[in-house]
Structure 1
């Protein structure tokens, strides 16, 4: 599943990475959140060629409400999503689904990922992948980043995406999932996270704020707020160097 808002530059590559999966049995919902560029037309072009793809054209709501609605439009036992500017490795679905198939105790599996730049050039393994997963460490480090495949049953159990989160809605979801199910780290890079100007710069402060909200709420849910508090530090530093 992919939510889309004005991603015409990258969307075709994202869709093609899904269609290249070695695991062929899947449904792929493309939810357009009121794009004003050619994104919807691109999605419809691919859907016309492959009946596993279904396009929903919706009014603009914002990321979290669109994501929640897109998930509600799917029917699969397992849920996974790929951002509309990223890429999925060919075996990502096969490997993550196989783990959930053979390990009924696990509610979510996540993979390592490589960072790519705007042109698609590989920048290497993310440092985030090197952080060992624990339920408690997740309060401070969002290591369960990409790619994630989870059981619909545990998604429903925790109430799904919180549409009031303007950013970090997936971090909030992962914190709640960690409270009800074991999470497995598949230590293979099966996702390519694209960094470019529109997702790196102007969203950072909002991401920090909403991540802080998610962690603070998790402390309260876990009954730890009387012992611990999370301090938020946002710093900036300038330096002068010789040219």
Structure 2
């Protein structure tokens, strides 16, 4: 590895022992990429520290920062101070990077100086790591900017992003007052330095988790902070005010959405699996029965398609 690596991977960790080894392994197994991996252990109380020490003892590309818990923004900024690469690749401790991720994204930024960052398509994974759906987001830079200015993340999945480190440093990194939406805030500020796009290839397994009471509370905070950021940004750009509303987050609605997304991909295994999950975890809500109804409707639609194709083939043969 050269004295200055081409890429700095930044991974915050907090009580991630269940998934950490897989996430680290996927980064350290990258093909054709010169990188360092800065991992910030944000005061984990589970077995994460031991896993990190074991990996670091076998691979000197891994740099561990251990510190008391302060939250995601503090961890990210402490990690940024240690990053020395030309490009900054974000990674979460429960996701899985495809072997070509870093090389593909760095090669893109090498040849597209107008872009400040690049994401990619992502595979939604359930908590057990099984595929739910592939999010094939729009790669058009103007559409991404428009969505960001409307309060949408624009298809930019934070742990799937590679950014130019000098630009991230120039805008001041992550802002503590924007915790919960630190990625959205960073992307808005980076718009002044360049555009965003995504590589139309799935390069990250993006693990999903059911909503919780904390997630519902955090959602209120996220929307309030996002509205403040959005108001300032739109005013600076001469755009009319826009206010986002709070949508309650419930565990059963999250899992029901997984069923719907799986059906969009014709992923019947995942749709059935998460319908069973609903029947186990939320049997006294309407969600399991709505999932069953969607399964039945999709099944009827699939049967009609098969019958239609069969009739068409029979007519063509006769």
Equivalent of 2:23, from 14, 22, 29? 14
Shift of 1:195: 1.3
- Asked whether 1:221 is paired with 2:230, we answer no
Equivalent of 1:70, from 62, 79, 86? 79
- Which residue of structure 2 aligns with residue 115 of structure 1? 124
Asked if the contact 2:139/2:200 (under 8 Å) is kept, the reply is: no
Equivalent of 2:196, from 183, 187, 203? 183
Shift of 1:35: 0.7
CA distance in 2, matches of 1:148, 1:211: 22
- Which residue of structure 2 aligns with residue 25 of structure 1? 34
Asked if the contact 1:11/1:85 (under 8 Å) is kept, the reply is: yes
Asked if the contact 1:176/1:218 (under 8 Å) is kept, the reply is: no
Equivalent of 1:79, from 68, 75, 88? 88
Asked if the contact 1:22/1:94 (under 8 Å) is kept, the reply is: yes
Asked if the contact 1:154/1:177 (under 8 Å) is kept, the reply is: yes
- Which residue of structure 1 aligns with residue 103 of structure 2? 94
Structure 2: which 5+ residue stretches go unaligned? 1-9, 254-284, 293-318
Asked if the contact 1:172/1:215 (under 8 Å) is kept, the reply is: no
CA distance in 1, matches of 2:12, 2:207: 15
TM-score calculated relative to the size of structure 1: 0.89
Shift of 1:220: 1.6
- Asked whether 1:209 is paired with 2:221, we answer yes
Asked if the contact 1:68/1:163 (under 8 Å) is kept, the reply is: no
CA distance in 2, matches of 1:134, 1:9: 33
CA distance in 2, matches of 1:167, 1:233: 14
CA distance in 1, matches of 2:139, 2:197: 13
- Asked whether 1:160 is paired with 2:151, we answer no
The structure whose Rg is larger is 2
Q: Which moved more, 1:213-222 or 1:29-38?
A: 213-222
CA distance in 2, matches of 1:187, 1:45: 35
CA distance in 1, matches of 2:220, 2:206: 19
Q: Secondary structure at the match of 1:9?
A: coil
Asked if the contact 1:110/1:148 (under 8 Å) is kept, the reply is: yes
Asked if the contact 1:171/1:211 (under 8 Å) is kept, the reply is: no
Which has the larger helix fraction? 2
CA distance in 2, matches of 1:184, 1:34: 34
Q: Which moved more, 1:44-53 or 1:102-111?
A: 102-111
CA distance in 1, matches of 2:146, 2:224: 15
Shift of 1:176: 1.4
Q: Secondary structure at the match of 2:178?
A: coil
